[in-house]
Amino acid sequence: MATFLYKLGRLAFRRRHFVALIWVALLTLAGVGAASAPTAGNTSFSIPGTEAQKAFDLLEQRFPGMSADGATARVVFKAPQGEKMTDAANKRAVEKTVEELGSGSEVASVADPYTGHAVSRNGTIAYASVKYKVSGMELEDSSRDALKEAAQQARDAGLTVEVGGDALTATPETGSSEIIGIAIAAVVLVITFGSLLAAGLPLLTAIIGVGIGVASITALASALDLGSTTSTLATMIGLAVGIDYALFIVSRYRAELAEGREREEAAGRAVGTAGSAVVFAGLTVVIALVGLSVVNIPMLTKMGIAAAGTVAIAVLIALTMIPALLGYAGRKVKPAGEKSKLLGGGRTPKNPGRANLGTRWASFVVRRPVAVLLLGVLGLGAAAVPAASLELGLPDDGSQPVSTTQRRAYDLLSEGFGPGFNGPLMVVVDAKGSDDPKAAFTQVGEEIKGLKNVVTVTPATPNKAGDTATITVVPDSKPSSATTEELVHAIRDKGADIAAETDSQVLVTGSTAMNIDVSQKLNDALLPYLALVVGLAFLLLIVVFRSVLVPLKAALGFLLSVLAALGAVVAVFQWGWLSGLMNVEETGPVMSMMPIFMVGVVFGLAMDYEVFLVTRMREAYVHGESPSQAVVTGFKHGARVVTAAAVIMIAVFSGFIGSSESMVKMIGFGLAIAVFFDAFLVRMAIVPAVLALLGKRAWWLPQWLDRALPNVDVEGEGLRTHADPEEEKELVRA
């Protein structure tokens, strides 16, 4: 591996014009493909295997044109103080609004509040239900604009009007967060390298890689039903690893220059050593992202595969374009320890013989491994304690900021009709195999009325064939509560008994039931996904490090950091700790996707840091240093780079904490705190402490396994045969 990549790095350095031309051509080709591709809407959303999805599919068959999974909106009206919605003027304003709402091309139906019994008992609040032909993710912006304009007309008539439902759901804008992240990354890179040019290379290649990846996704979006949301994860992860991988190779190149090697030789050795770490780190990220297909949620699978493709591009760019650009830069990229004149280069250092901070820290850990290990484990363990109280769910309008119209509509409906009105359940009764469908419909309704936590059960509404009916059930608790979830399970349990008696099938669906099913599906998939990702990566790391204990330590450390991060998320978003500082207006269950999403993303980034840091230790050990000294050497060369990479990632993810979307805020905080825990507590403290305690045993590998494993030579031992070390010591003048 190292020898092949060494030759590839030297070839890219020498043939830099050809390499640069290839990547520019690929970027141009992807850009042209994206520009000429037909516009794709948001990807369709389905959850195969869940009861809620089965009910939606059944409704599509038995109620043609009903658009069971279509978007919905509730336009909520409140009369001025002292008036009622039944007053003539208010009634005219509502009827005019209903007429406007029904004129849209994507609107399937609009229910008038006065004919649909949608006025509260005290007469002050009413609502109009709007049903669309397409899902909220596929709804055109023009339909959303028409909805907002109709509501504004009613406001102009003197009513308080708010709009809820998934029709107003839109993909969060993240462009400003990405720009902030890139700006912070630039500052960190300049400080790390002491050179504007060296700092610019990782940014340039990362942007090119993300550009090719996102443009390719856009070009294929219509054909593969990828949708506009698919590129979000690809952009975030592609930018993260693109900067990291280029940072690793440029840093190693400067270290090789500092040892006196010629620039082409330094580029080859940088790609042969740091490039080997990049390849295996990239493989761990790809495994984690492709492994999302285990969940069997099509949208999540597509996002994972698209992001994995972008990571693969980032690896290839780091291995080829970085050495090519280093060839163009020539002497402008300084050896490690030197700065450009613009940033203070040429000045006499205050303490020229003093070891760097990474060396001093590693030396301290090696002297006090037990104390550092105990403090690190206890600290992360304490942070993980709240994770024992983790409650999963999907956010609804009740978790929106109070400044949004969705949240205000949610509160008005709760005020006028009760908290459960915001999450009605749709019960679908399939009586096609029953001898008396009407009796089955009646029995289901009566059985549901007898359950706890039920406020209203509407009469069954059969289809034209009379073999299928829908029943609406309104709970007395809010949609995201555990009580509502218990009611869904109670109806399904009761439906199983009814099915045996009447030869009919009872299914529960609706947005609330779908959220419950998605949460359960994600929860059930977490352990298989974790076993798959960690297991495959464990085998991969055995090949990289030729050790059993080092990969085991890496996996256990990752699990500890993820549990600590989940604990922090629970403390802030579920318990409300520091909620004011994080601007969390409404606490509640943690987003169902958070644990599995955090495992996938953070595992990939954590293994990046593990591979780069520990391969330098392995390299030093293989070249004859003692285990303790190898730990110090690894930190001497790798701690600064890993710290810079982690700070960049934390900055990028923290930019999302300022979002008004609760899901985006939670993801940003969770990923940022997870990277902090993993990079600074696990990789920088626990890892060196464990390696210092294990000594030579850390690199133990059974002989039979040693013979069976391929020799990938990540530490670059084979590179010694490519040049005489004495001949390479010719110093190059900067």
587/225: higher pLDDT: 587
CA torsion angle for 478, 483, 485, 488 (degrees, to 10)? -100
5, with CB counted inside 10 A (0-12, 13-18, 19+), is: buried
Q: CA–CA distance from 282 to each of 11, 279, 395, 546 (Å)?
A: 22, 5, 33, 18
Sign of the torsion angle spanned by Cα atoms 622, 626, 627, 631: negative
The token pair that represents 671 in the structure block: 């990923």
Helix, strand and coil in the chain, % to nearest 5: 65, 5, 25
Highest mean pLDDT among 503-512, 521-530, 539-548, 688-697: 688-697
Residue 734, pLDDT > 50, answer: no
Summary mean pLDDT of the chain: 81
Which DSSP symbol is given to 466?
A: S
Please report the DSSP string for 384-447 in residue order.
HGGGGG--EE---GGGS-TTSHHHHHHHHHHHHH-GGGGS-EEEEEE-TT-S-HHHHHHHHHHH
Beta-carbon contacts of 390 under 8 Å, excluding residues fewer than 6 positions away, are 566, 570, 574, 590, 595
CB-neighbour burial class of residue 73 (10 A; exposed 0-12, middle 13-18, buried 19+):
buried
Nearest CA to 317 out of 114, 19, 25, 592 is that of: 19
Q: How far apart are CA 29 and CA 22, in angstroms?
A: 10
d(CA 642, CA 609): 6
Which residue, among 414, 686, 646, has the nearest Cα to 555 in the 3D structure?
A: 686
Is residue 636's pLDDT more than 70? Answer: yes
Q: What are the φ/ψ torsions at residue 590 (nearest 5 degrees)? A: -75, 140
> Which carries the bigger pLDDT value, residue 495 or residue 16?
16
Where is 75: in which H helix or E strand?
Answer: strand 72-78
Give the pLDDT score at 728: 42
Q: Please, what's the largest Cα pairwise distance for the chain?
A: 98
pLDDT of residue 729 exceeding 50: no
pLDDT of residue 254: 85
Query: What is the arithmetic mean of pLDDT over 142-146?
Result: 85
The DSSP letter of residue 194 is: S
pLDDT for residue 394 is more than 60: yes
Find where tokens 């309104």 sit.
474
Percent of the chain at pLDDT exceeding 90: 11
**526 vs 567 pLDDT, higher one:** 567
- pLDDT recorded at residue 66: 63
Per-residue pLDDT tens over the stretch 517-557: 888 888 888 888 888 888 887 888 888 788 888 888 888 88
**N residues, the chain:** 734
Q: Rounded to an integer, what distance in angstroms lies between the CA atom of residue 104 and that of residue 471?
A: 27
User: Residue 665's pLDDT is what?
Assistant: 79
Mean pLDDT of 408-430: 87
483 pLDDT band, cuts 50/70/90, is confident
- Is the Cα dihedral 394, 399, 405, 410 positive or negative? positive
Cα–Cα distance, 457 to 446 (Å, whole number): 9
| Mean pLDDT within 572-576 | 87
DSSP 667-685: HHHHHHHHHHIIIIIIIII
Show the tokens assigned to 60: 């599509």
pLDDT in the model for residue 713: 62
| Between residues 729 and 631, the one the model is more confident about | 631
pLDDT in tens, 165-198: 877 765 555 445 557 767 777 787 787 776 677 7
CA distance 491 to 29: 55
CB 656 within 8 A of CB 173: no
Highest mean pLDDT out of 236-250, 562-576, 650-664: 562-576
pLDDT at 229: 60
Amino acid (1-letter code) at residue 734: A
Identify the residue with better confidence: 607 or 79: 79
3-class secondary-structure state, position 725: coil
Residue 707: predicted pLDDT:
84
Side-chain half-sphere CA neighbours of 119 within 13 A: 16
Confidence class of residue 478 from pLDDT cuts 50, 70 and 90? confident
| Buried-exposed string 649-658: b where 16+ CB fall within 10 A, e elsewhere | bbbbbbbbbe
The stretch 406-417 carries a mean pLDDT of 88
Helix (H), strand (E) counts: the chain: 22, 11
Mean pLDDT of 375-380: 93
Sequence-ordered list of residues with C-beta below 8 angstroms from that of 346, at least 6 positions apart, any chain: none
The whole-number pLDDT of residue 315 equals 92
CA distance 215 to 32: 8
Tell me which range, 341-345, 584-588, 592-596, 697-701, is most confidently predicted by mean pLDDT.
697-701
pLDDT average, residue stretch 407-412: 88
At 61 the three-state DSSP class reads helix
- Comparing 305 with 593, the larger pLDDT belongs to 305
pLDDT at 317 over 90: yes
Going by C-alpha positions, the residue among 130, 83, 634 that lies closest to residue 362 is 634
CB atoms within 10 A of CB 385: 13
What local confidence, expressed as pLDDT, does residue 424 receive? Answer: 85
pLDDT in tens, 670-684: 888 998 998 899 988
pTM of the model: 0.77
